[in-house]
Amino acid sequence: MEIILKGIISGIVLAFLIGPVFFTILQTSIERGFASGVFVAIGVSLSDTLYIFISYLGLAHFMENESFQLYLAYGGGIVLLMFGLYYLLIKSRKLSAFDPQRIQTRSWPRLMAKGFIINGLSPTVLFFWIATVGVATTQFGYTSTREIFLYFSSIVITVFTTDLIKAKLADKLRLLMTPKFIRALNILLGLVLVIFAGRLIIFPDKVPH
């Protein structure tokens, strides 16, 4: 229980960090409904799980290379910038006919990919998991497969659960939304992505080590 409790606490901290994923889940759930938000959250959890495996399997040492960190920051920044510009310049202009009673569906693989990519392209997420694996194995002393599995499963499940809550609350607000508000929300998401991308591209050395 102690391992699970520590995992839940770590998951809550991660879940309430305000970043691109937070706004992406809200935007998707408001515009496309709760089910769409769920698939985005699944994509986020899959990318988190992948990073946990990468960190735990010893590739974290490779990730500590400064040159690799720069390439990761630049690459992630460029892709996030493209997402941001898409929402600012294209997506925000497509909602003049938004009807909250009629949800525009999208295939679940695309929604999962959206969550996976936006979460996975942030180097901060990768370094968070590297640091968490380090804390779990050194400070907490979790060395057995069972302990590691319980701890990180608790984190991922907690984050996923809070993402579902965000998606559900956003979906409840959908019927109150107007096309103007949806457009503003897409602009906000675009700005958030552009800001995060700009930070990665202009200040790659500020990425947590």
86-109 pLDDT, tens digit each: 777 776 666 544 555 555 656 889
Q: What is the mean pLDDT of residues 38-65?
A: 80
- pLDDT tens, position by position, 5-43: 888 888 887 776 666 788 888 888 888 888 899 999 999
Neighbours of 1 (CB within 10 A): 6
d(CA 56, CA 44): 18
Whether the per-residue pLDDT at 64 is higher than 90: the answer is no
Predicted confidence at residue 209, as pLDDT, reads 46
Comparing 39-43, 48-52, 75-79, 158-162, which segment has the lowest mean pLDDT?
75-79
Neighbours of 6 (CB within 10 A): 18
Predicted confidence at residue 178, as pLDDT, reads 65
Q: State the alpha helices, DSSP H only, in 55-207.
A: 60-63, 66-89, 108-120, 123-134, 145-173, 179-202
Supply the pTM of this predicted model.
Answer: 0.70
d(CA 177, CA 153): 35
Cα angle value 199/201/203 (rounded, 5°): 55
Find out whether 63 and 71 touch, Cβ atoms under 8 Å. no
Q: What is the mean pLDDT of residues 147-167?
A: 90
For residue 199, give Cα distances in angstroms to 31, 84, 95, 135, 160: 28, 13, 29, 27, 26
Most confident of 55-59, 144-148, 151-155, 180-184: 151-155
- pLDDT tens, position by position, 193-203: 788 778 777 77
